[in-house]
């Protein structure tokens, strides 16, 4: 029996073999199609219950199976799983199109939508109906048959291309290694980084030390290695991903993706892909995004230029370097930061043992939102590194299942993300609770040391956990509006706001304890962490804005005339460039956020959400960072509400007013 087709609560990972996926997905599509047919063939007049609600409950089995499959394709993949992904992705995009282009179904949805004013619906019901109708209209339901077929072709092609894009980036990441055999070349690197590189070398049965393009290896090397030539070698290798004359080149794929997206938008009656995307975002239009970005750019650019000049002078004074290059930035920045703030990231790491940080984020969530986390060993998992927890509230009510997967390995993509295995919803009077997961890439424990996090990794853990809280505390009726199913430029608010607790001494005192002595992190370090938080914030802001503006350039205009990825990119970066260009590097060919993830025409939302998060946290600072009243307001109006109302309405209900960028600019030291 296929374990994926049985009824299960948590994913039956240990029972699944790769051969189960395709038949299970095929069968689940069939089941979902039958559910759709039942709605279409219902002889009763279309109503909110028999059409809108019924449609939201369809495809549950398919959702559960594909969430398992695609989560593993990111966290624990192999050649076989990647091959299955290439095969099943077109099936799924065809199935989605079968729904959105099903005329009889759309007719029912539209007839309910047309009488919405007479139905006495609550805000959540209105939102569900609106979202459903737009789901059809924005996916071609109002198109002529011939155009519907064009749309299907485009969608199938796009799903294949974005998968291929991601596979190429992963292949290029895995293909490169910096193999060091001379000990002098390790100069400047912290002991823990050297030890980790030794273990990688051992695992590859090589002498010496191996550094890779995985972030826990790559970032420390660029930050600490004294050997400039080797930093250059590693940085150029990272920048070349998808931009080499080999089978993993992504240039053509990038051009095909942006052109297909543009065609798709035109077909649906939108000027560009960005116009299409932003209709369903807080920002609303490309013009608003550009205006928002330029407003921040005007504040950040003078600061960034000044910071860059200071850094360049510092590198010149220290090592006689005339021209600061991309592989010098992190290195001299870290040295200068250490000099100004007398703050060494390596000195902080012993206070951030992974287990303590996890306990810390749990304790903070408990104080704010009355949650309890209990590690359990009875839940099936896909890798021995994964930790599993039952989450309850302080009254013992079950809230969620939580999975956490913290360390890099061969089948796992870079970065950190939150995902879910089951959405929360209320069905047949039962509040079905969610199953949520976070996946990160933190340094593994070694024989002599536990996993000790950099401060940056601590904030990453809090960030992903903020997303997880959004998923776990979901309390809505319909699954398609639950948890993180919100406007994309609102989704980063819960994650980014939680990062703020990492900088507060009251919060740090709970978990930042030396792994050997148990001593709480000295307050002078906390002061320095706070002071240094806005160090080079001008350059950081400029960098983020440059990515957002590049994304808007790709998606906010007609791309048919673009022939060279690199040339186009250079023009897009003209206003935000600080470092000299590296001819053999390209950002776009490995810009997975916009070409593989869901951030196309949406990368600006990181900065957008920062404005929200700084404004929201200011409220906590005014009342106390563990103030129950503010926390409850945030939980009730933001974390539990999902996408049941327009985000700005929810935000104003929590905050009492609209957000302003002042809190962010103040925090960043830009005003």
Catalytic positions are: 464
Of the candidates 316, 328, 336, 321, the one whose C-alpha atom is nearest the C-alpha of residue 232 is: 328
CB 53 within 8 A of CB 478: yes
> The tokens 């970065």 sit on which residue?
415
Q: Which of 445, 444, 426, 442 is nearest to 434 (CA)?
A: 426
Phi, then psi, of 398 in degrees rounded to 5: -70, 130
Query: Cα Rg for the chain, rounded, in angstroms?
Result: 25
Q: Report how far residue 351's alpha carbon sits from residue 189's, in angstroms, rounded to the nearest whole number.
A: 19
Could you count the other beta carbons within 10 Å of the beta carbon of residue 384? 5
First to last CA, the chain: 64
- Closest alpha carbon to 60 in 427, 388, 475: 427
Nearest Cα neighbor of 459 from 436, 442, 477 is 442
Query: Distance between CA 271 and CA 264 in Å, rounded?
Result: 10
Cβ(538)–Cβ(670) under 8 Å?
yes
Instruction: Kindly report each contact of residues 302-307 with a partner whose C-beta sits within 8 Å and lies 24 or more positions away, as own/partner.
Output: 302/538, 303/537, 303/538, 303/541, 303/669, 303/670, 304/538, 304/539, 304/541, 304/542, 304/578, 305/538, 305/578, 306/538, 307/536, 307/538, 307/539
Evaluate the CA torsion angle 559, 564, 569, 571 in order and state its sign.
negative
Give every CB contact of residue 313 below 8 A, 6+ residues apart in sequence.
none
Task: Provide the pairing of β-strand 435-439 with 398-405.
Answer: parallel
Candidates 472, 390, 491; CA nearest to 423 is: 472
Q: Which spans in 4-78 are helix H?
A: 21-40, 54-56, 60-75
DSSP 442: P
How many residues in total does the chain contain? 671
Query: Cβ of 294: how many Cβ atoms within 10 Å?
Result: 14
- The rounded Cα 262 to chain-centroid distance in angstroms is 24
What is the rounded distance in angstroms from the CA atom of residue 288 to the CA atom of residue 285?
A: 5
Q: DSSP 3-state assignment of 653?
A: helix
DSSP per position, 500-535 = GGGG-HHHHHHH-B-TTT-PBPPHHHHHHHHHHTTT
Q: Quote the tokens at residue 561.
A: 């005339």
């Amino acid at each position: 029996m296929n374990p994926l087709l049985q009824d299960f609560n948590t994913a039956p990972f240990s029972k699944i073999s790769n051969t189960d996926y395709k038949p299970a997905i095929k069968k689940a599509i069939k089941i979902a199609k039958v559910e759709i047919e039942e709605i279409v063939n219902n002889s009763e007049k279309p109503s909110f219950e028999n059409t809108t609600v019924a449609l939201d409950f369809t495809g549950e089995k398919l959702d559960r199976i594909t969430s398992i499959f695609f989560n593993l394709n990111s966290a624990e993949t192999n050649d076989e799983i990647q091959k299955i992904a290439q095969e099943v992705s077109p099936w799924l995009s065809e199935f989605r199109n079968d729904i959105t282009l099903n005329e009889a179904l759309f007719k029912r949805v539209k007839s309910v939508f047309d009488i919405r004013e007479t139905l006495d619906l609550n805000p959540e019901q209105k939102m569900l109906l609106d979202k459903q109708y737009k789901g059809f209209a924005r996916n071609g339901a109002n198109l002529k048959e011939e155009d519907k077929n064009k749309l299907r072709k485009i969608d199938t092609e796009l799903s294949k291309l974005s998968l291929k894009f991601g596979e190429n980036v992963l292949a290029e990441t895995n293909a490169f290694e910096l193999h060091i055999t001379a000990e002098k070349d390790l100069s400047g690197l912290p002991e823990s980084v050297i030890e980790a590189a030794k273990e990688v070398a051992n695992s590859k049965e090589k002498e010496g030390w191996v550094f890779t393009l995985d972030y826990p290896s790559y970032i420390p090397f660029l930050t600490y290695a004294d050997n400039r030539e080797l930093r250059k070698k590693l940085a150029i290798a990272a920048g070349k991903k998808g931009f080499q004359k080999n089978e993993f080149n992504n240039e053509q794929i990038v051009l095909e993706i942006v052109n297909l997206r543009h065609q798709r938008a035109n077909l649906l009656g939108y000027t560009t892909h960005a116009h299409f995307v932003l209709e369903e975002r807080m920002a609303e239009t490309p013009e608003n995004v550009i205006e928002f970005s330029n407003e921040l750019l005007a504040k950040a650019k003078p600061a960034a230029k000044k910071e860059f000049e200071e850094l360049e002078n510092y590198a010149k004074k220290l090592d006689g370097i005339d021209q600061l290059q991309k592989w010098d930035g992190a290195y001299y920045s870290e040295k200068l930061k250490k000099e100004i703030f007398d703050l060494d990231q390596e000195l902080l790491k012993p206070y951030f043992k992974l287990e303590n940080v996890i306990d810390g984020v749990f304790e903070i969530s408990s104080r704010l939102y009355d949650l309890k986390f209990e590690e359990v060993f009875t839940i099936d998992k896909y890798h021995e590194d994964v930790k599993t927890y039952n989450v309850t509230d302080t009254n013992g009510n079950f809230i969620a299942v939580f999975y956490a997967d913290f360390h890099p390995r061969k089948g796992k993509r870079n970065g950190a993300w939150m995902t879910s295995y089951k959405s929360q919803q209320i069905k047949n009077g039962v509040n079905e609770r969610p199953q949520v997961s976070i996946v990160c890439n933190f340094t593994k424990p070694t024989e002599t040391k536990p996993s000790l996090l950099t401060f940056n990794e601590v904030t990453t853990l809090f960030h992903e956990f903020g997303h997880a809280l959004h998923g776990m505390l979901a309390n809505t009726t319909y699954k398609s509006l639950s948890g993180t199913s919100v406007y994309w430029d609102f989704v980063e608010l819960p994650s980014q706001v939680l990062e703020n607790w990492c900088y507060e001494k009251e919060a740090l005192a709970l978990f930042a304890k030396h792994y050997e002595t148990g001593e709480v992190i000295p307050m002078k370090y906390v002061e320095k962490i706070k002071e240094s938080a806005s160090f080079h914030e001008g350059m950081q802001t400029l960098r983020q804005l440059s990515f957002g503006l590049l994304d808007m350039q790709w998606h906010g205009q007609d791309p048919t005339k673009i022939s060279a990825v690199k040339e186009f990119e250079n023009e897009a970066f003209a206003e935000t460039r600080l470092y000299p260009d590296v001819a053999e590097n390209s950002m776009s060919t490995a810009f997975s956020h916009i070409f593989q993830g869901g951030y196309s025409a949406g990368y600006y939302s990181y900065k957008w959400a920062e404005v929200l998060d700084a404004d929201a946290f200011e409220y906590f600072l005014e009342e106390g960072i563990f103030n129950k009243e503010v926390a409850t307001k945030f939980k009730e109006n933001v974390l539990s509400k999902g996408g049941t109302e327009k985000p700005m309405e929810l935000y104003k209900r929590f905050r009492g007013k609209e957000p302003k960028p002042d809190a962010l600019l103040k925090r960043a030291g830009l005003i």
